């Protein structure tokens, strides 16, 4: 009988990779795994438990909140707060971050967590894959009240990042800067088990992922690349296949496994891009780079952007390095 390594076992084994930590990061990752199981349970019974549909409010992004958005947000915040390793949470669902640095029992927390509790929530009601994205930073200040410099850090400073995909199976994929590993939830034992060790993205691919309905609003470089994807003279000898789910986690998980490119560029409507830097683009860029991929705005490396605000937006071009390189070349040639 095949023996599986659980997420908890794997985290403990890898703890030695962090000489500055004394088990705090391991416990923090464990807490995220626990919250993911709870959210997965609710997602799986959503149609029966009357938690589908709109919550009746909008979040800080001006987007209509779904009931599962609110539930996932509450579950992750509760788990992170209870664990005591986290001193600050930045969530897509809150205009201001949640500062636990002065809370009783939380003053020793060393980590900042940026999270999109339920990515792709517009797909909830139609039973299409959705996910959670998280990013972890170590606070810079020694103690006391959280400072702006603790929160607004470059993606290069992430100590861990990951995503949870709630699909035909539930997967947790994460990196701590030492490669990328994927874990599949075994519902029979209630544990995430290592199923995709040392994940690597192919250097090239034959699929592209973009909301092509917005073509007329794309910058010149992206328009030109989409045209190239539709031509016969590519290295694969035929046009590329368009694959677009509309859930960042699902689209990038496919891209990670199969190769390809995902693009959410700036547009006439969203001059600075639409995806959020801190809790969508930075964690995904960290994961993809650790798997051998590349993440860019089309002009600049995502992980080198210095954030200026919590909910900052940015264009995103991410995936197989050969494909991203072509887009960057087009931006340089066409002054995007």
pLDDT digits (tens, 9 = 90+) for 245-303: 989 999 999 999 999 999 999 988 888 999 999 999 999 999 999 999 999 999 999 99
Is residue 117 within 8 Å of 42, Cβ to Cβ?
Answer: no
- CA-wise closest residue to 108 among 29, 37, 22, 192: 22
Say whether pLDDT at 79 is over 70: yes
Read off the pLDDT of residues 177-212 as tens digits, 9 standing for 90 and up.
999 999 999 989 999 999 999 999 999 999 999 999
3-state helix, strand, coil in the chain (%, to 5): 35, 25, 40
Mean pLDDT of the chain: 87
Read off the pLDDT of residues 101-130 as tens digits, 9 standing for 90 and up.
764 544 578 899 999 999 876 777 777 889
CATH architecture of 7-196: 2-Layer Sandwich (3.30)
Which run of H or of E encompasses 162?
strand 158-166
What's the pTM? 0.91
Say whether pLDDT at 76 is over 90: yes
Would you call 136 helix, strand, or coil by DSSP?
strand
Distance between terminal CA atoms of the chain? 55
Residue 47: pLDDT band (50, 70, 90) is: low
CA distance 284 to 114: 12
pLDDT of residue 55: 47
Q: Which residue numbers belong to the known binding site?
A: 92, 116, 118-122, 211, 244, 274, 280
Report the share of the chain in percent with pLDDT over 90.
64
Residue 20: pLDDT band (50, 70, 90) is: low
- CA-wise closest residue to 204 among 141, 260, 121: 260
Strands (E), 179-302: 180-186, 191-196, 207-209, 241-242, 261-264, 275-276, 294-296
Intervals of CATH 3.40.190.80 along the chain: 207-334
Is residue 261 within 8 Å of 205, Cβ to Cβ?
Answer: yes
- CA-wise closest residue to 184 among 36, 75, 78: 36
pLDDT of residue 12: 85
Q: What is the DSSP letter of 57?
A: E
Q: Which residue numbers belong to the known binding site for Mg(2+)?
A: 92, 116, 118-119, 280
Intervals of CATH 3.30.540.10 along the chain: 7-196
Say whether pLDDT at 2 is over 70: no
CA distance 326 to 336: 13
Distance of CA 321 to the CA centre of its chain: 18
Is residue 268 within 8 Å of 261, Cβ to Cβ?
Answer: no
Q: Report H helices in 106-247.
A: 148-151, 220-229
Is residue 303 within 8 Å of 323, Cβ to Cβ?
Answer: no
Q: Which fold has domain 207-334?
A: D-Maltodextrin-Binding Protein; domain 2 (3.40.190)
Read off the pLDDT of residues 140-155 as tens digits, 9 standing for 90 and up.
987 778 899 999 999 9
Q: Which residue numbers belong to the known binding site for substrate?
A: 119-122, 211, 244, 274
- CA-wise closest residue to 6 among 37, 38, 41: 37
């Amino acid at each position: 009988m095949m023996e599986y390594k659980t997420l908890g076992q794997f985290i403990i084994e890898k703890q030695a990779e962090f000489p500055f930590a004394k088990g705090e990061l391991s416990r923090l990752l464990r807490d995220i795994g626990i919250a993911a199981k709870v959210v997965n349970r609710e997602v799986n019974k959503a149609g029966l438990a009357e938690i589908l549909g709109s919550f009746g409010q909008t979040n800080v992004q001006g987007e209509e909140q779904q009931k599962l958005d609110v539930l996932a947000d509450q579950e992750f915040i509760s788990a992170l707060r209870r664990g005591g390793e986290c001193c600050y949470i930045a969530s897509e669902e809150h205009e201001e971050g949640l500062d636990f640095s002065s809370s009783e029992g939380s003053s020793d927390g060393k980590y900042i967590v940026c999270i999109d509790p339920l990515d792709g929530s517009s797909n909830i009601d139609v039973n299409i894959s959705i996910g959670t994205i998280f990013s972890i930073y170590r606070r810079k200040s020694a103690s006391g009240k959280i400072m702006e410099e603790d929160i607004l850090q470059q993606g290069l400073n992430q100590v861990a990042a990951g995503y949870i995909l709630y699909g035909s199976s539930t997967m947790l994929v994460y990196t701590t800067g030492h490669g990328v590993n994927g874990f599949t939830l075994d519902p029979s034992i209630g544990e995430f088990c290592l199923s995709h060790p040392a994940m690597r993205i192919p250097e090239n691919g034959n699929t592209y992922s973009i909301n092509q309905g917005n073509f007329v609003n794309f910058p010149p470089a992206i328009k030109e690349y989409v045209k190239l994807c539709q031509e016969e003279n590519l290295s694969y000898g035929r046009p590329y296949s368009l694959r677009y789910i509309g859930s960042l986690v699902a689209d990038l998980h496919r891209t990670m496994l199969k190769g390809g490119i995902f693009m959410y560029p700036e547009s006439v409507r969203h001059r600075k891009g639409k995806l959020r830097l801190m809790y969508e683009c930075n964690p995904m860029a960290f994961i993809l780079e650790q798997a051998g991929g590349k993440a860019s705005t089309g002009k600049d490396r995502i992980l080198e952007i210095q954030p200026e605000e919590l909910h900052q937006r940015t264009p995103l071009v991410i995936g197989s390095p050969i494909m991203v390189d072509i887009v960057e070349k087009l931006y340089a040639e066409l002054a995007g």
